[in-house]
Amino acid sequence: MPDATLPAGEPDATGAARAASPATRTGAAADALDALDVLEQLRAAWRRSDALFELLDERAWTERPIALRQPFVFYLGHLPAFAWNQVNRGVLGEPGFRPEFDELFEFGIDPLDEGDVPEEPEWPAMDEILAYRDEVRARLLAAVPRVDALAETSRVAAGRRIYHVVLEHEVMHHETLLYMVAELDEALKDAPAAALAGADVRDPTVPQARIDIPAGRTVLGARFEDVPFGWDNEFPRQVVDVPAFAIDALPVTNDDFRAFVEAGGYENRAHWSDAAWAWRVEHDLRHPHGWSRDGDGWRVRGPFTTRPLASVARHPVQVSQAEAAAFCAWSGARLPTEAELNRAAYDTPDDAADPDARPPRPYPWGDAPPTGERGAFDFRRWGPVPVGSRPAGASAWGIAELVGNGWEHTSTPFRPLPGFEAWIDGYPGYSADFFDDEHTVVFGGSWATGAPLLRRSFRNWFQTRYPYVFSKFRRAW
Residue 395 CA to its chain's centroid (Å): 20
Q: Within this chain, do residues 102 and 223 fall inside the same structural domain, yes or no?
A: no
Domain end (from 147, 167, 195): 195
User: pLDDT tier at 17 (50, 70, 90 boundaries)?
Assistant: low
Number of compact structural domains in the chain: 2
User: Would you say 405 and 471 are in contact if contact means Cβ atoms under 8 Å apart?
Assistant: no
Where b means 16+ CB within 10 Å and e means fewer, 220-252 reads bbbebeebbbbbbbbbebeebebeebebbbbbb
Average pLDDT, the chain: 90
Per-residue pLDDT tens for 252-286?
999 999 999 999 999 999 999 999 999 999 999 99
Residue 259 lies in a domain: yes
Calculate the alpha carbon distances from 34 to 22, 81, 359 in Å.
6, 24, 20
Per-residue pLDDT at 204: 78
Q: What is the CATH number of the domain that holds 87?
A: 1.20.120.450
Please name the amino acid found at residue 28: A
- Choose between 378 and 118: higher pLDDT: 378
Q: Is the pLDDT assigned to residue 32 strictly greater than 90?
A: no
Q: Is the pLDDT assigned to residue 27 strictly greater than 80?
A: no
Share of the chain above pLDDT 90, in %: 82
Residue 76 CA to its chain's centroid (Å): 19
d(CA 289, CA 466): 10
- CB-facing half-sphere around the CA of 137: CA atoms within 13 A: 22
User: Would you say 245 and 367 are in contact if contact means Cβ atoms under 8 Å apart?
Assistant: no
Q: What is the CATH number of the domain that holds 457?
A: 3.90.1580.10
Domain end (from 195, 223, 248): 195
Per-residue pLDDT tens for 353-395?
777 777 668 999 999 999 999 999 999 989 999 999 999 999 9
- Mean pLDDT, to the nearest integer, of 293-304? 92
Q: Within this chain, do residues 180 and 208 fall inside the same structural domain, yes or no?
A: no
Q: Within this chain, do residues 172 and 240 fall inside the same structural domain, yes or no?
A: no
Residues shown for the chain: 477
d(CA 134, CA 80): 8
d(CA 404, CA 475): 17
- Mean pLDDT, to the nearest integer, of 434-457? 96
Domain end (from 147, 174, 195): 195
Question: What is the helix (H) or strand (E) element at residue 292, kind and residue range?
Answer: strand 291-294
Please name the amino acid found at residue 96: G
User: Would you say 218 and 346 are in contact if contact means Cβ atoms under 8 Å apart?
Assistant: yes
Per-residue pLDDT at 16: 61
**SS3 call for 443:** strand
Q: Domain range holding 448?
A: 199-477
Q: Within this chain, do residues 126 and 259 fall inside the same structural domain, yes or no?
A: no
d(CA 231, CA 373): 28
Residue 14 lies in a domain: no
